[in-house]
Structure 1
Amino acid sequence: MKYTDYIIVGDGYAGLFFAHQLIKNNKSFVLFSEGRKSASQVSAGIINPVVLKKFTTFWKAQEQIDFLKGTLNEIESYTGKNYFINSPIHRIFHDGNEQNLWLKKSDNEELSGFLDKKFDHLEVVKNDFNTGKVNQSARLQVSGFFGDLFDFLEKKELLIKEKFDYEKLNASSATYKDFQCKHIIFCEGMGVKENPFFSDIAVIPNKGHHIKVKLSEEIPKDMTIKKKHFLFPTDNGLHFYGGTYDREQLHHHIDESAVTQLVNGLSEIYPYDFEVEEVNFGFRPTVKDRRPIIGRHALYKNLYVFNGLGARGILNGCYFSKSLYQFIEENIPLHEEISSDRFNS
């Protein structure tokens, strides 16, 4: 029998940021990865403290940004790289009313640190009413983050590349195959619907597509451009454009209507030729109140769930991984806004 403090099931932002908490605190663990690309692994990696439809912010935005920067510095100590890309979002205004609303909101105490009062006019893309810069916004270098962390875990023999088999789990004794552990953390995204212990949690699938395109005229490389969707350069000479949000078409193949929506959206702001080289999609686990779902199983007290990160997977996964760790190890109660108990009536 192999003894370990934790088993983590899932290889997206929730799983890897929680793994970092364990590394940081010298806890033993193994992480189960199916090897299929999760929604996290095909995500845009946008780090954004502002809701760009309404120019509002969200719960603990500044704390989450600060905590992420510190965490990425800690991860750099063992991967040798920092995955924070200083590429601020430039939001293209639809009209003068949006400009005025942006300026009005920028005086709000919650938003003054995020909404830049100075407008910019960009070359190459259409922005007749200029753009507003979101201060403290950035991107995560997604492929490097996942690739390097998986390499690190594999070298330390902490990565198990196989699908977790629920039937082999004895929940009462916290044994799985030849592992004996103290705690099991399920961080499976929409895969949780197959999990007999947490299949009833209130996550809703939200399907997102993005395209990778070859542009005929280069756009500025030091920024992320946003109107309907996000546009930015990737490492291989292509540009990312996306992503869509769809709660209806939930089959596991590409929706041509979503691709058309993206091509039309890009054409609105980019008046030159481009070629679609790649189409990807994933299923975000979203929650009605836009808060993660974190908690302990009602019957099996060594089983936990960490899910519902939604479109802000990087910020939510990073920040609330510490809340879950402190809940388990230090008996610090979960905030009622993220606790799975909030759905119990």
Structure 2
Amino acid sequence: MKNVDYIIVGDGYASLFFAHQLIKNNKSFVVFSEEKKSASRVSAGIINPVVLKKFTTFWKAQEQIDFLKQTLNEITKYTGQNYLINAPIHRIFHNENEQQLWLKKSSNEDLVHFLDKKIVHLNSVKNDFNSGKVNQSARLDVNGFFTGLFDFLKNCQQIIREKFIYSDINIANHTYQNFSYKNIIFCEGMGVKNNPFFSDIPVVPNKGHHIKIELSQPLPENITIKKKHFLFPLTKKKYFYGGTYDREQLHHEIDSSAVEQLISGLKEFYPHDFSIEEVNFGFRPTVKDRRPIIGRHSEHRNMYVFNGLGARGILNGCYFSKSLYDFIENAVPLHQEVCIERFNSGLS
């Protein structure tokens, strides 16, 4: 029997950022990964403090951006890799009114550090009304991040690549198969719906598609372009474009309508030929109030859930991993806005 402080179930952003908190604090743990193509693994990796449809920001945006940069620096020290790509977002304006709204909001106290006042014309794409740069925006090297952290955990013998079997938990003895544990953290995304301890939490699947494309005329700028969706380079010629949002078509197959939506969106501002090399999709776990769900089970006091990260999985996963750690280890209360108790679900 191997003794660990934590068992983490899941392998997305919530799982890996919480694992980082445990590494920082010298806690013993194992991560159970099914190696499925999770929403985190196929995400764009956008780090963005602005809601680009309305030109607004969100709760704790600056704190989350600052904490993410600090955390990625810490992760670099033990993986040896930097996963932060400093390629700012340029939002193409649809019309003159959007440009004027951007300029007006760029003086707002909560947006002054995010919306650049300088209007920019991009020479490589169609942007008749120019674009605005989102300061402090960037991207995460998603593939590098997961590969680097999984390799680190593998070398430390802290990752188990198999399905977690709920019925193998011995609740009375705090054991799972050949592990004795102090706490279990469930970070399963939409997989939580199969979890007998937390299946009632109100996460809703939001299906997102993206395409990987080859552009006939590569873009010279090292930026992320946003109009309806995000476009950015993966290699010299291959680009990522996405992603869509769909709460209706939830089957586990590619939706041709989503692909058509992406093709149409790209053609609006990219005037050259391109070819689709790959189509991917994932199911984001979203919550009606757009806040993560974090907390302790009402009956099994060493079982916790960390879920509902939504489209801001990187920022939410990073920032609230410390909140969960401090809640468990230091009895620091969770923010009411993210605590599971706000739903009165009987699980808290």
TM-score, normalized by length of structure 1?
Answer: 0.99
CA distance in structure 2 between the partners assigned to 1:35 and 1:202 by the alignment: 24
Q: Structure 1's 331 and 268: CA in aligned 2 closer, same or farther, altered over 3 A?
A: same
- Does residue 145 (structure 1) correspond to residue 151 (structure 2)? The answer is no
Report the CA distance between 1:236 and its aligned residue: 6.6
Q: In the alignment, residue 70 of structure 1 is paired with which amino acid? A: Q
Give the equivalent residue in structure 2 for 1:81: 81
- Does residue 158 (structure 1) correspond to residue 162 (structure 2)? The answer is no
Report the CA distance between 1:171 and its aligned residue: 2.5
Give the equivalent residue in structure 2 for 1:316: 316
CA distance in structure 2 between the partners assigned to 1:237 and 1:152 by the alignment: 30
- Does residue 181 (structure 1) correspond to residue 178 (structure 2)? The answer is no
CA distance in structure 2 between the partners assigned to 1:185 and 1:4 by the alignment: 12
CA distance in structure 2 between the partners assigned to 1:171 and 1:45 by the alignment: 37
Give the equivalent residue in structure 1 for 2:228: 228
Q: Secondary structure at the match of 1:251?
A: coil
Q: In the alignment, residue 76 of structure 2 is paired with which amino acid? A: E
Give the equivalent residue in structure 2 for 1:4: 4
Contact 1:208-1:246 within 8 A present in 2 as well: yes
Deviations 1:50-106 (A, max 9, x none): 000000000000000000000000000000011000000000001110011101111
- Does residue 197 (structure 1) correspond to residue 185 (structure 2)? The answer is no
CA distance in structure 2 between the partners assigned to 1:237 and 1:144 by the alignment: 19
Give the equivalent residue in structure 1 for 2:169: 169
- Does residue 281 (structure 1) correspond to residue 315 (structure 2)? The answer is no
CA distance in structure 2 between the partners assigned to 1:170 and 1:35 by the alignment: 25
Give the equivalent residue in structure 1 for 2:336: 336
Contact 1:93-1:132 within 8 A present in 2 as well: yes
Q: Secondary structure at the match of 1:294?
A: strand
- Does residue 99 (structure 1) correspond to residue 96 (structure 2)? The answer is no
Give the equivalent residue in structure 1 for 2:253: 253
Contact 1:221-1:233 within 8 A present in 2 as well: no
Note the 1:49-128 alignment, pairs <5 A. Answer: 49-128=49-128
Give the equivalent residue in structure 1 for 2:208: 208
Report the CA distance between 1:173 and its aligned residue: 2.7
Contact 1:214-1:238 within 8 A present in 2 as well: yes
CA distance in structure 2 between the partners assigned to 1:106 and 1:237 by the alignment: 34
Deviations 1:293-325 (A, max 9, x none): 000001000000000000000000000000000
Give the equivalent residue in structure 1 for 2:42: 42
Give the equivalent residue in structure 2 for 1:133: 133
Q: In the alignment, residue 60 of structure 1 is paired with which amino acid? A: K
Contact 1:93-1:131 within 8 A present in 2 as well: yes
Q: In the alignment, residue 305 of structure 1 is paired with which amino acid? A: V
**Kindly, what percent of the aligned residue pairs are identical?**
74
Q: Secondary structure at the match of 1:269?
A: coil
Q: Runs of 4 or more off by more than 4 Å in structure 1? A: none
Q: In the alignment, residue 9 of structure 1 is paired with which amino acid? A: V
CA distance in structure 2 between the partners assigned to 1:43 and 1:287 by the alignment: 18
Report the CA distance between 1:123 and its aligned residue: 1.5
Report the CA distance between 1:107 and its aligned residue: 0.7
Q: In the alignment, residue 129 of structure 1 is paired with which amino acid? A: F
Range moving further from structure 2, 271-280 or 216-225:
216-225
Report the CA distance between 1:237 and its aligned residue: 3.4
Report the CA distance between 1:219 and its aligned residue: 1.1
CA distance in structure 2 between the partners assigned to 1:117 and 1:163 by the alignment: 50
Q: Secondary structure at the match of 1:191?
A: helix
Q: Secondary structure at the match of 1:247?
A: coil
Contact 1:221-1:232 within 8 A present in 2 as well: no
Report the CA distance between 1:126 and its aligned residue: 0.7
CA distance in structure 1 between the partners assigned to 2:63 and 2:173 by the alignment: 37
Report the CA distance between 1:124 and its aligned residue: 2.1
Deviations 1:7-28 (A, max 9, x none): 0000000000000000000000
CA distance in structure 2 between the partners assigned to 1:271 and 1:235 by the alignment: 20
Q: In the alignment, residue 92 of structure 2 is paired with which amino acid? A: I
Contact 2:186-2:304 within 8 A present in 1 as well: yes
Contact 2:215-2:237 within 8 A present in 1 as well: no
Q: Secondary structure at the match of 1:208?
A: strand
Q: In the alignment, residue 75 of structure 2 is paired with which amino acid? A: I
CA distance in structure 1 between the partners assigned to 2:69 and 2:152 by the alignment: 20
CA distance in structure 1 between the partners assigned to 2:172 and 2:179 by the alignment: 14
CA distance in structure 1 between the partners assigned to 2:37 and 2:55 by the alignment: 32
**Gaps in structure 1 of 5+ consecutive residues:** none
Q: Secondary structure at the match of 1:98?
A: helix
Contact 2:12-2:41 within 8 A present in 1 as well: yes
Report the CA distance between 1:136 and its aligned residue: 0.2
Q: In the alignment, residue 156 of structure 1 is paired with which amino acid? A: C
Q: In the alignment, residue 67 of structure 1 is paired with which amino acid? A: F
